[in-house]
Structure 1
């Protein structure tokens, strides 16, 4: 199958590219390199043994999208492209709505013009907001508490309306929880621009001496050890979830929203201790006051993914930490 990955050089997109290429699909990538690196293409070539067609461009560029869809004879799109910092979304809401919502609309217009109606959308557990019950299932009310989450929800609503207007559309919306880890070979992983917003790359940069210590924002929550608990999922499990969603999308039309997580909440301290086992030393850390808007605990109910996708996360927390550190070491060796 000819598949276009928007934002395909990013963290999740690049790992998904390796899985899809391994399954024999023809993978095409568009990325504007806002939060990714062009050299990832070389890593993908090393991993897959294939040269993946790449277009440097913005997902809001409608003429470019139409040209790619036509020339590459695309049959399905997996839409990763988007800004993803919760903090930045609060200070730059117009940029986030323009990029995440506007970019999605441009992509859908291009797909509709070329008569391509198969889409997997990269959504987020942030669409749920503060939990009314746990674990979150797909029927949980959608009340995001930040701009980033609201951009994801708006796109989901657009996709639902689109599928209801035309029953030829087949759309699978994947609500990610907390992806971490890296490809087992260590050639690709999470490499954010600037100071990381996410815990794992921050841990890696502390361990490699790029940052002085880890900040733990609150150790007085009503959780197992006082720190926040999250549903961390290995990025390769997440990538394999996209391949499973592709099979579902080819079996049915309409709109489906599906959680991708482990169903197992892990505390900040549990993650830090597992990472310390990977690096075989202690991570310096300072406990800070809680951050506004942080939830004490959230995690996924994953029954729907098991039922519809025949998919469950397979890799454990230690594998997530080991692979992240392997990637960090390779990055530092070449920088």
Structure 2
């Protein structure tokens, strides 16, 4: 599961994805038009439409489209709960959509025969992506989803809001890097085009000995950490081992021009491990949020808001935005306690009184 930054998704890789899908759509429409005007005696099977991502689908439709796109099909939703809440919708809530999603994650062969079609997908690949508010994470990490393994399959990506918003100049600089500096854009598009080119090609990729050792040691580290954490977190750590190798393969193809012929290098493995550390931290935060008491969650809300305000703010500026979840009285008491614990400190600037993060 992903929290994402809309600006970069819409204008960076997301824009390339959208362009590619529009190109495939136009090509498919032309093929269908030609097919419809073909003489029935020599008419081939109806052309299939290439897709990379889809949304607002029943699981039945998703599987049907995957059968036409054997390399995989991403399921994207603004709200990940929209996917989970829609489980079983095709059969009026009586289906086994949840069990199907659990099977899809494993990447094994999948059969979904219907009265009209004997659908079969080899090497299933259906990544699902969407956002969720932190206060709703417990709707994913709960007893039911933990016991059947659904929660552990999510790859959490916690979006940290910068203390200070990017300046207009910095935003212009980012836009220039992405779209106006042709070298940067051409590099990004070149990577994307290579991924498109190999999308439907089966390829076995080998690793050199050093890369293999780095990944094996990190996988062992994940197993060790799994045994130190909670029962809920154990399964998540174990699933991260699979993500480690999937991510390594992605980094390999994004960074090597001759990726088909080259072995995964030690450098690639180290890059993948660095990225995995970010996902581990996001996972720990997600599970930590669920395991918190109500008072601890409110204290975190105060600290997060103070961080968003630049690490220093007046009491009213902290309490006002979070008043729906933390009352003014509770906020005052918690801030006082955090000051006593040394997490926050009170400072004065003239007649104004501020609260400040100790480690800004």
Tell me which structure has the larger Cα radius of gyration.
2
Identify, as 1 or 2, the structure richer in helix: 2
> Considering the TM-score relative to the shorter chain, is it more than 0.5?
no
TM-score normalised over the length of structure 2: 0.27
